[in-house]
Amino acid sequence: MTRIRIWIFSFVTLAFAATAAVVPSAAADKNTELARQLIDRFYDALAPNSTALQGFLSEGFQIIGNDGLRFDRSEYLRLPKAITEYVVDDIVARRDGDILTATFTIAYHGEFEGGARGVPRLPRLAVFREKDGDWQLVAFAALGTGVNEVTVQAGTALVRFFEAVASGDANRIRAVVSPDYQIQRSNGQGFTLKEYLSRTLPVLRTRPVMQDLIATSFSNTMVTRYKLKVNETIAGKTVEALAPRMTVFQRINGEWRVAAHANFAAIK
């Protein structure tokens, strides 16, 4: 698919009785033009197995998305991605020696991890460094709308996990956990996935209610802690109604799966 690149510039014309023109400084013009070229270079290089991207990202490169996920250079290069169309505007660039910072807004269409993605007009921050006569991208922040996307993703993933467990269906549970899944309970019992599914599964009489969710994420790992209110029994024994939990997710093929779960509720 042909990549489409669009740049938008805003011009303001002021009318005076006497003809006058406001001309930005030559340095500002030069920095903006340089930033535009480097931003182009980054987005044009976003393609699978891109050698251009490998050469453009510095060894210390980091990127953080508006969902809170962070990647270093090697992780980001492995992430399947491609941009097919983008619109960039509102560039503000500042240079200090060999460092150039640029803030701008972008809207784009592309594919990430095998899924189509369209992004509305959102802000971005890029940091570039000149090295040996060429420029590299050192850091990039994909800013969002102020919503904690990690918490949203965590809540959605946890509900999928709860619903699978409540169903009592081994196949549904396998679909939301990683192959190396483990669970640890407050009574000291711990199980692998195979052991967990071979035993009596929890019986949930009502839908669990989650409280005080805290979620953090780095790369392909997401860690959550929260309180869970349940009406639940395990092998005929009553589970404490309100108690803390900790659930760790691993991102597999673009989907969050439970890798580990700690249940601190007393079993009476």
Model confidence at 11, pLDDT cuts 50, 70, 90, reads: very low
Kindly report which listed range (60-64, 69-73, 142-146) carries the lowest average pLDDT score: 142-146
CATH architecture for the domain at 4-142: Roll (3.10)
Name the helix (H) or strand (E) containing 26.
Answer: helix 26-45
Query: Domain 149-263 carries which CATH code?
Result: 3.10.450.50
- Residues 182-194 have pLDDT tens digits of 999 999 999 999 9
pLDDT at 12: 36
Residue 94: pLDDT over 80: yes
Q: CA-CA distance, 65 to 87, in Å (whole number)?
A: 18
At position 91, the amino acid (one-letter code) is: I
Q: Which residue has the higher pLDDT, 15 or 207?
A: 207
- Residues 44-69 have pLDDT tens digits of 999 878 899 999 999 999 999 876 77
Tell me how far CA of residue 180 lies from CA of 4, 19, 161, 199, 262, in angstroms. 43, 73, 15, 17, 14
Q: What letter would DSSP give residue 21?
A: -
Other beta carbons within 10 angstroms of residue 23's beta carbon come to: 7
- Residues 111-132 have pLDDT tens digits of 776 666 777 778 999 999 999 9
How is the chain split into domains, by residue range? 4-142, 149-263
Q: CA-CA distance, 68 to 151, in Å (whole number)?
A: 9
Mean pLDDT across 159-169? 93
> Are domains 4-142 and 149-263 of this chain identical in fold?
yes
